[in-house]
Chain A
């Protein structure tokens, strides 16, 4: 009985994780420039993957350690790669959406905002 409930909870976590990834994909398509797209991509895949990892962990408790390892890895590397990419995009002066209100970084480095 309890095992069945845990399975159900695990499956629900998998589903919720996938919903967030779907939203991330949608953000990737809809967001107006590369910086906003990075925002959409990195947040949703981080939470989404953590949720699906937890879901699989409930369905297959034997795998818990390895799933935890993958989770920790994603938790550290996902934001890092987002930042490295955002920095590169800014340094090479990629177009920002005309909606952009302010760019303190461009002001400070003397580029055109």
Chain B
């Protein structure tokens, strides 16, 4: 196993709050996923996709925190960039589709 630096200084109430935050973000993700699957239009799916990726950034941050690894922040940044470009490209495509 890789030696994972664990955040040891964190008190129990902090862990509880962070876990609670993770659960709420998870529910937010599921709600957005419902809209993504439901549509009804492509634009609805794109909104949902945007929310999914941005909620995922918080998910990545929480993972970075839990594992004490700053490298995940780069992942979060690139993720945000790709999400933005994705939405722009699909929106342009929607407009061009007519």
- The answer to whether any beta carbons of A and B sit under 8 Å apart in the complex is yes
Chain A, 29-47, CB within 8 A of any chain B CB: 29, 34, 37-38, 41-42, 45
Q: What is the distance, in angstroms, from B30's C-beta to the closest C-beta of chain A?
A: 7
Residue of A nearest to B96 (CB): A88
Q: A7-B9, A21-B25, A74-B57 are known contacts; what are 10 more A-B pairs with Cβ within 8 Å?
A: A3-B9, A29-B35, A34-B41, A52-B21, A52-B62, A56-B64, A63-B64, A70-B80, A74-B80, A85-B87
**Is chain B's binding surface mostly helix, strand, loop or mixed?**
helix
A34 touches B47 (CB 8 A): yes
Give the distance in Å from the alpha carbon of A56 to the alpha carbon of B18 in the complex.
10
Q: Which B residues contact A (CB, under 8 angstroms)?
A: 7, 9-11, 13-14, 17-18, 20-22, 24-25, 27-32, 34-35, 41, 43-44, 46-48, 50-51, 54-55, 57-58, 61-62, 64-65, 68, 70, 73-74, 76-77, 80-81, 83-84, 87-88, 91-92, 94-95, 97-98
